[in-house]
Structure formats: C-alpha cells, structure tokens
Amino acid sequence: MPDEYLCGVIPKTIAALATAKGLGALHVVRVSGPDALRIAQHVFRITGAWTPRKALLGVFCSASGEDLDQGLATWFAGPASFTGEDVVEFGLHGSSYIAEEALNALRAAGAELAAPGEFTQRAFANGKLDLAQAEAVGDLIAAESRAGHELALKQLKGTVSHKLQELRTRLTDFAALIELELDFVEEDVEFAQRDQLLEVLADISAECETMLSTFRHGRAVRDGIPLVLLGAPNAGKSTLLNRLLRDDRALVSAVPGTTRDSVEERFRLGDYVFRLVDTAGIRATEDPVEQMGIARSWTKLAEAHLALVLVDPTQTNADEAQELYRRVRQSNPEAECIVLLTKRDLWGSLEGAGYPEHLAIGPSQDDLAQLEWLLLETIRRNEPKGNVLIANARHAAALEASLESLKRVRSSLELGISGELVAYDLRDALRHLGSITGEVTADDLLGSIFSSFCIGK
Ligand SMILES: Nc1nc2c(ncn2[C@@H]2O[C@H](COP(=O)(O)OP(=O)(O)OP(=O)(O)O)[C@@H](O)[C@H]2O)c(=O)[nH]1
Ligand SMILES: [Mg+2]
C-alpha cells in the first residue's frame, strides 16, 4: 500500500446507498474516490468498455463472485463529478437484500462505508460547492413545500453565496484602502476620505442587515411557519386544528378545558408548511395542571409568527374579547394576530357589538377556505422583498457577528482611532462573512455540519 494511503493524503474510496432504505423499484448505490473505477470494474461485469457518463448495462456480482443483480452503472470521471473524485453510481433493483449485498461486495473490493454527509463534504473539499451550497443540498432533500424547496434550490444555485461574495469584495476593497493608509502612517497621509469610507461602510452594513432581517421568515419557510390557536376554553380551537389538518387529531368536547397540553402538527397549505399548535384554553383556574397547560399556551404564543385568537361570542362578550386580544398582542407584538369569531352557525349578526376586527367562521367549507386564504395572504404580505433569504441559523449568527465588527469599524473611524484597529475589525468582519460559504472555517464546524446529513448524501 503506498504511503499516501497510510498518511491519509489520498482519500479512501467510499460507498453508500444513496436512496432510502427499504423496498422500492430501484436503489442507487454510490461509490466515490480514487479507486472507484477499479472497484466498480471488480464488482460489475459489462460487455463493452467503461465509458464515462454513459449508463452501462451489466451484472453486479456479490462478494463471493455470484450474480447478484442486473443493473446500470454510470461512471463520472473526476473532477467532472458531484464530489470532484471518480464516482460510479449503480442503479440496482430496489430490494434491501440486494443493497446490502452490493455494499458488502464493494467493501470486499476495497471501498469503505461512507459517513453521513461524506459525499457532500468531499464535494465541498474539492471546491464543487461552497459550504452554504452544501448545506442547501440537505435543505433541498428535507424541503416539504414549494416555498421551502425554492429557498433551498436558490441557495444551492448560489444566490446567497453570490450576494456574500459581492459584499466581501466591497469590504476587501475598503480594507485595502485602510491598509494602504497604514503603510503610510509616518507620512500622515489619508488616501481615503473619512466621509466616503463611512458612507461605504453604512451601505455594506445596511446590506448585511437586510439579509439578516430575512432570517425570521426564511427559517419559518424552511422549518414550518409557527401558527398558534389561542382562546378561552370551548372556543373551538381543537375543532379548527382538526379541520385544518383534515384529521381527527385532537379531542373535541363540550366540556371546557378539554385540551390540557399543547398539541403540535405540521400541515401544508399552498406553498407553505405550517407548524400548527393547539393550546389549552386560557382562563383563571386553581387547578395546578391546567395552570401548567395555560402557561404553555403563552410560551407557544411567544414562538408564533401567526396567532389565531378564537372567540365564541355566545360565551365571551366584546370586552372580554378585546382584553384577550390586547393580551395576545402585548405578549407577542411581532406575531400577526387574527381574531376569529367562532360558531357562526349559532349566532346571527354582531354588528356594532364592539368585538375586535375579525373573521367569522362556522362549520362550513367556505368559511374554512376563507380562513386558509387569509392565512396565506398574511404570510405573503410579510414576505421579505428581494432575492436572498437567510434560512440557516449559522448564517444568521455569522451575519450578526460581522455586523458587530462593522459597528466597531464605524465607531473607530468616527473617533479617529488608529487604522490598525480598524483593519483588525475589518478582517474580523470579512472572516465572519467568509465563514458562511466556508472560505474560512474550522474543521470541527465542518464535522458538525456534515454529520447532520444522512448517509449517502
Ligand atoms: N355549533 C358549533 N359548535 C362548534 C363549532 N366549533 C366547535 N364547536 C363545538 O364547541 C365545543 C368545543 O370545541 P373544542 O374544539 O373542543 O373547543 P376548544 O377551544 O378546543 O376547547 P378547550 O380544549 O376546552 O380549550 C365542542 O362541542 C365542539 O363541537 C362550530 O363552528 N359550531
Ligand atoms: Mg381543545
């Protein structure tokens, strides 16, 4: 074995099942590394020659050399492959037995089983993707809605990366001016006009802030928009949860206080996935368990982007409804709050009764459809403008850190503090921005990012 292997300079050849485990029409088994072609030739018999980027029909042989399956192999000669290494992808019949035996054969021929995310990590290491794009691969696979899918696809195509690159370039130009000034510090020369510098700096900071401001929405699009149902006991919250889910998920009864703990479910509506939370009805109570449930209702509200305040006007008067609405708004001013007057079938008109602005709903399908339309409209109205959405907490934290450094640069410039300190803070800002795309990244961070991927990715 050559020394390079022992020193770990030449990467090992890895193999994994790229499709989900279990029964399916087909399975894809992926091999990547310097020995991929040799290993493939060992386990897969074809009649012609191995040609790159062609699906080759052949027979996959087990570790003991017996025919295992008839299938296809595609060889991507590095660096023109996903990982940048030699890659062979096998399309086999989708039995878990075949998948397992195929992996055994590949191991016997010299491949090692891949760690979670290792293919994507190699693509990153070989410059095929930057870190933000590599993370987008994971998001794309996990996306459950059109909006989530679009977000991940944009990030994979490099929208976030290009924007960051642009900011980094501007910041680097700016830093160059400052450093130049440093070189001539003896002569007391100022190459850059302070006013101009401050203006450029304000502009770059504003761009970072705009990006950062999209995080609240971006994260919700990626992870599900938190939507909370609140109201007095018996207002009809669990009934509405079941109707939105089209599922008999939560207990419904005429006894006030039926829901004691919060109930959370995801559902897709239009382009979005929502995280819908039904909560314990809010009232004054001596029951300690109910009190715990109600405390949880308020906690759930604190995390919500959308709060539906349900009021049954046959049980709750206008003043009480106004008071509840006020408490909800005060408790989470950032959340969009919609008041629903429920059980419309039980009452006639409430015009002039003094209830907060509301939508009236009853058991009809039309009422439900109208509510669903209103939910989507409210989300769309709050969508950040522009092409870039930040959805990843790591990216948001890096932007925040970068903004902090830029703030220090600004105050140093304003106070006329030495260029050396300014240059230091600028380098810091650049480093934070660069960490998003992985231009500057610690190994342990890479490990934690890629280990959250599944095997075969
Ligand atoms: N007539 C009528 N009854 C309704 C409507 N919505 C809910 N109800 C009834 O109102 C009662 C309470 O409904 P729930 O959905 O359990 O109310 P809740 O707000 O979850 O109540 P808690 O869990 O106790 O906080 C049940 O008997 C429901 O069948 C409606 O639109 N019209
Ligand atoms: Mg309930």
Could you read off the pLDDT of 176-188 as tens digits, one per residue? Answer: 777 776 666 566 6
The Å distance, Cα 279 to ligand 2 centre, comes to 7
223-233 b/e with 16+ CB inside 10 Å = b? Answer: bbbbbbbbbbb
Could you read off the pLDDT of 312-352 as tens digits, one per residue? Answer: 999 999 999 999 999 999 999 999 999 999 999 999 888 88
What φ, ψ does residue 29 adopt, rounded to 5°? -115, 130
pLDDT of residue 179: 72
Closest CA to 325 of 303, 294, 356, 298: 356
Do 328 and 298 form a contact (C-beta atoms < 8 A)?
Answer: no
Helix, strand, or coil (residue 50)? coil
Lowest mean pLDDT among 125-139, 273-287, 416-430: 416-430
Show the domains of the chain with their CATH numbers: 3-114 (3.30.1360.120), 137-214+390-451 (1.20.120.430), 220-381 (3.40.50.300)
Atom of ligand 1 nearest to the CA of 232: 25
Helix pair angle (131-142, 159-183), 10° resolution: 160
Do 224 and 256 form a contact (C-beta atoms < 8 A)?
Answer: no
For ligand 1, atom 30: residue with the closest CA: 343
Closest CA to 296 of 263, 270, 274: 263
For ligand 1, atom 4: residue with the closest CA: 343
Residue of 252, 324, 367 with the most ligand 1 atoms within 8 Å of its CB, for mutation? 252
- Compute the distance between CA of residue 309 and CA of residue 235 in angstroms, rounded to an integer: 9
Could you read off the pLDDT of 63-102 as tens digits, one per residue? Answer: 999 999 999 999 999 999 999 999 999 999 999 999 999 9
The Å distance, Cα 81 to ligand 2 centre, comes to 53
Q: Looking at the predicted structure, is the pLDDT value of residue 445 above 70?
A: no
User: Taking all residues of the chain, what is their mean pLDDT, rounded to a whole number?
Assistant: 91
Q: Which ligand is nearest to the CA of 231?
A: 1
158 contacts: CB under 8 Å, gap ≥ 6: 130, 133
Do 66 and 82 form a contact (C-beta atoms < 8 A)?
Answer: no
Q: Count the neighbouring beta carbons within 10 Å of the beta carbon of residue 440.
A: 12
Residue 366 token pair: 């039309």
pLDDT of residue 172: 86
pTM of the predicted model as reported, rounded to 2 decimal places: 0.84
Could you read off the pLDDT of 113-126 as tens digits, one per residue? Answer: 999 999 999 999 99
- Compute the distance between CA of residue 178 and CA of residue 194 in angstroms, rounded to an integer: 10
pLDDT of residue 190: 59
The Å distance, Cα 237 to ligand 1 centre, comes to 7
Residues with CB under 6 A from ligand 1: 231, 233-239, 252-254, 256-259, 281, 342-343, 345-346, 362-363
For ligand 1, atom 2: residue with the closest CA: 343
**Rounded alpha-carbon distances, angstroms, from residue 267 to 143, 263, 368:** 13, 13, 15
Closest CA to 224 of 278, 279, 265: 265
pLDDT of residue 127: 93
Could you read off the pLDDT of 3-60 as tens digits, one per residue? Answer: 444 445 678 999 999 998 888 899 999 999 999 999 999 999 999 999 999 999 999 9
The Å distance, Cα 255 to ligand 1 centre, comes to 9
For ligand 1, atom 27: residue with the closest CA: 254
Check whether the bond before 52 is cis (ω within 30° of 0): no
- Mean pLDDT computed over 286-311: 97
- Mean pLDDT computed over 153-164: 93
pLDDT more than 90, % of the chain: 77
Residue of 228, 229, 230, 234 with the most ligand 1 atoms within 8 Å of its CB, for mutation? 234
- Compute the distance between CA of residue 116 and CA of residue 43 in angstroms, rounded to an integer: 24
Could you read off the pLDDT of 198-230 as tens digits, one per residue? Answer: 888 899 999 999 999 999 999 999 999 999 999
Q: Number of helices (H) and strands (E) in the chain: give both, helices first.
A: 16, 13
Q: Which ligand is nearest to the CA of 255?
A: 1
The Å distance, Cα 352 to ligand 2 centre, comes to 29
- In total, the chain counts a number of residues equal to 457
pLDDT of residue 289: 96
Atom of ligand 1 nearest to the CA of 259: 23
pLDDT of residue 50: 97
Residue scoring higher pLDDT (194 or 287):
287
Most confident of 26-40, 123-137, 160-174, 379-393: 26-40
The Å distance, Cα 114 to ligand 2 centre, comes to 47
For ligand 1, atom 10: residue with the closest CA: 236
The Å distance, Cα 216 to ligand 2 centre, comes to 28
For ligand 1, atom 24: residue with the closest CA: 257
Residue scoring higher pLDDT (51 or 138):
51
